[in-house]
Structure formats: C-alpha cells, structure tokens
Structure 1
Amino acid sequence: MADDWRNGGFGLYVHWPFCEAKCPYCDFNSHVSKKIDQKQWLTSYLSELKRSAVDTPDRVLNTIFFGGGTPSLMAPETVEAIIAQARTLWRPANDMEITLEANPGSVEAGRFAAYRDAGVNRISMGVQALNDEDLRRLGRIHTVAEARAAFDIARNCFDRVSFDLIYARQHQTPDAWQAELTEALSMAVDHLSLYQLTIEDGTAFGDRYAVGKLRGLPEDDSAADMYLATQEICEAHGLPAYEVSNHARPGAESLHNLIYWRYGDYVGIGPGAHGRVTLGSQKLATETYLSPAAWLDAVSKGTGEKERTLLSTQDQANEYLMMGLRIAEGLDIDRYNALSSTPLPENILNDLQDIGMIDRSNGRLIATKDGRAVLNAVIRELLG
C-alpha cells in the first residue's frame, strides 16, 4: 500500500483563516481580525513547509491550493514566498497547478497581477450569487457589479478562472436559478462550482433555522429540480459535471481537487487544515489546531499538527469509495479491493445497478447521474 497514493498524486493545501466578514452560512474555519502580522504568518507557514517536506522527500508536487478564509487577503509577497519555498522542498510538476481563492470584494487589478507574478496560475472566485438582494442575505460584502468587475480582471490576468455559486437560496425558484445559471455561463467561464445551500449547525443560518427565522428555503422537490436543471444546463453549455458539484470544460478540471477525489496524498498546513500523507507503508490523517493563535503558538514550538491518526487499509478503502464515487470517472475496483479486507457486496452492487444508480465497466465503479443525485444513500448501501 506504500505507493497507493500515486494513483491520485500529491498536493499542498495552505489554509488562510481570515475573512473581512463571516458569512452566515459558512462553517469553515474562518475568523475576522483587524490586525494580521503577515511576517509572522509567513514565518510559520515556511516552518511548517520545511517540517512537512522532511516526511515527504523526493515527491513531485502536482498542485498548491491557497484556501480559506479569504486568501486574497494575503500579501502577494507572502504567497510568492510560500510558492518559492514549496518549489525548493519538492520537485514541481511541469504543469503544476497553483490556485488561490478570492472574494470579489477583496481584489483589484494590481493585486491580481501580483498574485500572477508570484506564481499563481488559477483563481477560484467566491461569487455565490448574481443577485444583489441574495448577496445581502448571504452576508456577502460585494455587489454583482463588483463581482463582474473582479471576474473580468481575473480573466485578463489568468488563463484559468473558476467561480462558485450557491443555489436553493431563500425565496429562489427553479426558473430564477436557471436564468441565473445561464447568465453565469455566458461569462465565458470554463469551470463552475455549484453548491446547494446547506444549513449547518454552529452557523448564523443554523441558529436562525433552529428558531424558525430562516424563511423561504425551497422545498426538497424544488431543490432537487434545481440540481437536475443544473446538470442539464451546464452539459448543454459544454461544462458537464465531472464531480457532484463541479462542472468544467474538458481539460479545465481542478487538478488539486482531483487529488482529493482520486485519493492521493496532500499536505495540509495552516489553522484547521487536514491532510492525508503516506509515510512508509502507513497512511495518516493529519489535523492541525483550529484557532489561529493556538496554531501559531504550536508552530513556534515545533509543529502545527494537533494529531495524526493511522488509517487502516479498510479506512482507506472506505474513504476511496466515498471520494471516488463523487467523480464522473468513478473508482478503480481492483484498487478498492487491494485496500479493502472484503470486496463490495455483489448483491448490493447488482441491486444498485438494476435501479440505475451505479454502472460497472472497464474495471471501474461509477455512480450514474441519477446515483450522484442521491450519492449519500448509494454510499450508505455499499458500506452497509
């Protein structure tokens, strides 16, 4: 199992935990802070990179992803130094993808150009809605006009630009969503991440929902209609779903996210970052301290990792199944069987295939379009 990760590749995830404002739907590890010591953060990131590289020598680094939070609040010099350090610690792939997440309210032309010059070659923009009223409801601090302007700037600086939208929002109808999605697709995009609004515990939306004050959420049938329309409209525009919530023109898929879904290895640094790293013949799940202050303090003492958990081969098989079925290419059945102590139950596979939820061909197990629409239920059946 020592080389299983090679089937997915090797990436680096860098978490920037700060935002200008906390969105009410967000359950990510993000914080609002008036003062950020960029030099201290850079020193800590570089320290963590060196520590992680000791564990993973002689690897080809396929991707770097700056996530958050709002990484477009990072000083371009910080981004540049992290990229330069990563390039010296690992062997950079010839086609290395370097993505930075950006919010439209935190960018301008000079900053984007500086990120490009720092080595970033892909931007993922958190637009979330093309409707000002809904942007306000979602707690976003930008307008549609600002989002369009930022997108245009990004397209002028980068060959690859993706943006996110949230659907099944309050008071949103299927017809309104279809019109908005069609508008988004007219913006000459090659990658879209389209997420159904989910209400998470511990968020402002979660608190409002619990006391009956989050009104106008679509009924389940209406949300399902929006999901199905999303698949049809994007496919008709040449951006088929390559993953449950992600659509791209062929060749424009997110290489970093494919490392997750193909169950490769990735180093995660920064507050709350997770990782999957194979050391010798053992695969470990890594977890860092959530609090920015606690993470900085821990790094100063030697490591920002809070814990490492050894994953059994069955744990790995289960994770590979859950990740692999999310993507249109599915998973390699022989690879699953090499990890798992027992093969997937043939009777369950036959039943799911009979009702059109999965397909098996060329040695791969694939969730069909209908299966991806109810993927959690399909996975529950397979894992018992």
Structure 2
Amino acid sequence: MSAHHHNPGDPFGVYVHWPFCAAKCPYCDFNSHVRHKPVDQATFAEAYRLEIAHMAALAPEREVTSIFFGGGTPSLMEPDTVGIIMEAIASHWPVSADAEITLEANPSSVEARRFKGYRQRGVNRLSLGVQSLNDAQLKFLGRLHTADEARAAIELAREIFPRLSFDMIYARPGQTPQAWRSELENAIALAADHLSLYQLTIEAGTPFFDLHRKGRLNVPDQDLAADLYELTAGVTHQHGLPAYEISNHARPGAESQHNLTYWRYHDYAGIGPGAHGRLTVDGRKLATACERNPEIWWQQVMVEGNGLRESEHLLETEAADEFLLMGLRLREGIDPARFEAMAERPLNPDRIRMLASQGLLETSKAGRLRATPQGALLLDAVVADLAS
C-alpha cells in the first residue's frame, strides 16, 4: 500500500516563477532571463492563468496556505499582473484567510515604488534581495542597487508589509569573520523578523564559475567557510533570530510558511517558466517541471494549456529520499515514522547509531531525527548514508 502524501488540512503552496531580470548576477544559476525589450505582461499573464487552471485540475480541492512569487525578479511585474495571477489562483482553489503571500523584490528605487501596489493586491510578505550592505561588494556581486538604496527599501517595506525578509550572501572572497560579524550585526539591526543568509557558492555555467576555474576568484576554504557558518548561527541566535533551516533564520513564529511547505515535504504547485512542483495525485507524488525558456513556455501553454516539460510519478523510495533530504535541512528534523510509511521500510538503526557516534545526527526529545550543527555542514553525505 502506498503512503498517502497529502491529507486534508496539510499545507498547500503555490509557487509562481517570474523569470525576467534587469541584469543577470554573475553568481546566479537560477532560471532568469534578461530581455532588452519590455515584456508584454498582459500576454504572459494569460499563460499563467491557463497553467494555474491545469495545475488545479491535477490537484483539486486544496486550500492554498501560501503563495510565493519568485524569480527572476518578480518586482519587475506590474501590480496589476500580480493581481491577475492572484485572482486566477483564488478562482481555482480556496485561499486560506491567513495565507502567507510573499513576493521577491530587488531594492532598486524604481521597484520600491510598486510596493504599495503589491500590498493592495494581497501580498503580505516581502523578500528583498539585499545580498550585502557594502557598495564595493554589491558591485562585485553584480547588483544594481547601492547599500543606501537597500536600507531605504528595507525601511519602506517595513512600513508597507506586515512581514519582511531579506537575503545576504557571505563567504565572499577575502571576507574575514570580523568583517562578516560586523555586516551581519548591521543586517540584524535592520531586519524585521526573518533573514536568509547564504554562503556564496560557485555554480557551473555562471561567470563566477569561469573566473574561479581560471584562478581569478578565490572563495574561503572549507575550514573558513565552516567558521563563518558557525559564527552566523551564533550571532543570529544571540539576537533572537535562530536558524530554523540551514540558511534561514527567524524570530520564533516568523518562519517562512511557504518554504516550510517544501522542507516538510508537503504539496505545492509550480507555475511559470522553469517552475518545479510536487503534487499528490492518486495517492502518489507527482514531480512536475515546466519549460525553462519563457517564450517557448508561453507558446506551449497557449497551445496545450500548460508548459510542462516533465510530469512523472515518483517511486515511493524516491519520494522518501526527497523527504529525508528536505526534512533534515530543518532544525526540527524529521519524524522517522513518516519515512517508514513512505519507503515501506525503517531507517537503518546501525547507520543512525554510526552517524550519531560521529556527532552528525541526534534524536530530539520529541523523537525526531535531526542533523547536528556539524551534520548540517555535511548534509549531503549524511543523507546519502541514511538513505542507502
């Protein structure tokens, strides 16, 4: 018997990908595209409406508990475009009265002027791509805003939105623990209730990857990266924003509900170019992925009603492994009984004991299995060991 992955009352998220950017950052390997002519937003909005209808037919009668506009740069969308997409979601699924509705934004002044329009259309949480509070570092990261513009955007967002998060990138070339501590404390002073703090990673296919390969870009070695990670956890905890996931920190109760839906392995629909989704259909997890190129996606949606490139049921073992990989990112860890129900086998107690003896895994008082702070640094290896 297969484990049922979605129960009535479980969270259900809708992820909407807006793939367009004003410029491509040199570290970014997301599905984002620069267009030198204005994007016809009304034409694209029609395709989003069609794809939402298709996803709702696959997963009917779900109550939406979170919506997340990611990108790309969703703050390049007109508020009316956001409104059309929100209305389409609400016309196919009931939206919970207290649904968390997040939009990612860049701090440039042009986009900040749209904030009020997004709030009027129901967005209640903003996620700002700040990345650094140092002008030279912002330039190095290819960002189009200054540190002062970032501060002004944070201030404006705090006035308009009930909830605010912003991103920072650390473990940059030449960054010392002292310099990062100072920048992080400045960020915490500006933060409302949530911070996403990512180590700079060198991704294949990016300009930074080419520079790194040629020896022209050096990032901190493993030991320094681990020190910076531990410093980040310590400083945020001290200031009341503990890590609840490897890269995410929040005041208790202010965690991103949408991202928790991913990490707790609940269902979400992925809408738009390059969006991924996980839906329970006929008691099994369906993995979906849409065409990445925006114009090809649009053409396909207008002809077929959806832009899906992949749509396949996962084997129970594959779903259980994903559950493990996502859930162990969380400080709360996972319920081993849920893994057993999905995989139709328990986790190997010998492996659990071995990883615990190495200080990488622990069992919480509630009986949940979780990575230790050391285990979080080696999470891929821990998961591979557990899943084998």
Range into which the TM-score falls when normalised by the shorter chain: over 0.9
Pairing 1:5-84 to 2, within 5 Å after superposition: 5-6=6-7, 9-34=11-36, 35-84=38-87
Amino acid at match of 1:169: R
Question: Which of residues 184, 193, 204 is equivalent to 2:207?
Answer: 204
Q: Evaluate the alpha carbon distance shift between residue 316 and residue 308 of structure 1 in structure 2; reply closer, same or farther with a 3 A threshold.
A: same
Q: Work out whether residues 130 and 180 of structure 1, in 8 Å CA contact, stay in contact via their aligned partners in 2.
A: yes
Pairing 1:147-166 to 2, within 5 Å after superposition: 147-166=150-169
2:331 alignment partner, SS class:
coil
Q: Work out whether residues 8 and 262 of structure 1, in 8 Å CA contact, stay in contact via their aligned partners in 2.
A: no
Shift of 1:3: 3.7
Q: Distance in 2 between matches of 1:137 and 1:273?
A: 28
1:192 alignment partner, SS class:
strand
Q: Evaluate the alpha carbon distance shift between residue 199 and residue 108 of structure 1 in structure 2; reply closer, same or farther with a 3 A threshold.
A: closer
Q: Evaluate the alpha carbon distance shift between residue 107 and residue 264 of structure 1 in structure 2; reply closer, same or farther with a 3 A threshold.
A: farther
Uncovered stretches (5+) of structure 2, i.e. residues with no partner:
none
1:99 pairs with 2:102: yes
Amino acid at match of 2:166: F
1:315 pairs with 2:330: no
Amino acid at match of 2:146: T
Q: Distance in 1 between matches of 2:94 and 2:165?
A: 26
Q: Distance in 1 between matches of 2:381 and 2:60?
A: 39
Query: Given the two structures, how large is their TM-score scaled by the length of structure 2?
Result: 0.96
Q: Distance in 2 between matches of 1:95 and 1:221?
A: 43
Counterpart residue number, 2:269: 267
1:366 pairs with 2:366: no
Runs of 4+ with >3 A deviation: 106-110
Q: Work out whether residues 168 and 197 of structure 1, in 8 Å CA contact, stay in contact via their aligned partners in 2.
A: yes
Q: Work out whether residues 334 and 363 of structure 1, in 8 Å CA contact, stay in contact via their aligned partners in 2.
A: no
Uncovered stretches (5+) of structure 1, i.e. residues with no partner:
none
Q: Work out whether residues 3 and 342 of structure 2, in 8 Å CA contact, stay in contact via their aligned partners in 1.
A: no
Q: Distance in 1 between matches of 2:168 and 2:81?
A: 28
Q: Evaluate the alpha carbon distance shift between residue 40 and residue 106 of structure 1 in structure 2; reply closer, same or farther with a 3 A threshold.
A: farther
| Cα offsets for 1:211-250 (capped at 9, x unmatched) | 21214x2222111111000000000000110000000001
Q: Distance in 2 between matches of 1:175 and 1:274?
A: 38
Q: Distance in 2 between matches of 1:359 and 1:224?
A: 20
Question: Which of residues 253, 256, 270 is equivalent to 1:254?
Answer: 256
Q: Distance in 1 between matches of 2:6 and 2:134?
A: 42
Relative to structure 2, which stretch is displaced further, 29-38 or 229-238?
A: 29-38
Q: Distance in 2 between matches of 1:223 and 1:27?
A: 21
Q: Work out whether residues 116 and 157 of structure 1, in 8 Å CA contact, stay in contact via their aligned partners in 2.
A: yes
Q: Work out whether residues 109 and 149 of structure 2, in 8 Å CA contact, stay in contact via their aligned partners in 1.
A: no
Amino acid at match of 2:5: D
Relative to structure 2, which stretch is displaced further, 45-54 or 18-27?
A: 45-54
Question: Which of residues 354, 365, 377 is equivalent to 2:381?
Answer: 377
Q: Evaluate the alpha carbon distance shift between residue 286 and residue 126 of structure 1 in structure 2; reply closer, same or farther with a 3 A threshold.
A: same
1:208 alignment partner, SS class:
helix
Pairing 1:208-357 to 2, within 5 Å after superposition: 208-215=211-218, 217-302=219-304, 303-357=306-360
Q: Work out whether residues 99 and 123 of structure 1, in 8 Å CA contact, stay in contact via their aligned partners in 2.
A: yes
1:167 pairs with 2:170: yes
Q: Work out whether residues 22 and 30 of structure 1, in 8 Å CA contact, stay in contact via their aligned partners in 2.
A: yes
Shift of 1:345: 1.3
Q: Distance in 2 between matches of 1:292 and 1:308?
A: 18
1:4 pairs with 2:5: yes
| Cα offsets for 1:276-327 (capped at 9, x unmatched) | 0111122110011010111001101122111212101101110000000000
CA RMSD in angstroms comes to 1.3
Q: Evaluate the alpha carbon distance shift between residue 171 and residue 258 of structure 1 in structure 2; reply closer, same or farther with a 3 A threshold.
A: same
Q: Distance in 2 between matches of 1:153 and 1:131?
A: 19
Query: Given the two structures, how large is their TM-score scaled by the length of structure 1?
Result: 0.97
Shift of 1:2: 6.2
Q: Work out whether residues 108 and 153 of structure 1, in 8 Å CA contact, stay in contact via their aligned partners in 2.
A: no
Q: Work out whether residues 208 and 214 of structure 1, in 8 Å CA contact, stay in contact via their aligned partners in 2.
A: yes
Q: Work out whether residues 5 and 283 of structure 2, in 8 Å CA contact, stay in contact via their aligned partners in 1.
A: no
Q: Distance in 2 between matches of 1:330 and 1:135?
A: 34
| Cα offsets for 1:8-45 (capped at 9, x unmatched) | 52110000000000000000000111220011111010
Shift of 1:81: 1.3
| Cα offsets for 1:336-368 (capped at 9, x unmatched) | 000113321111101111232212243311112
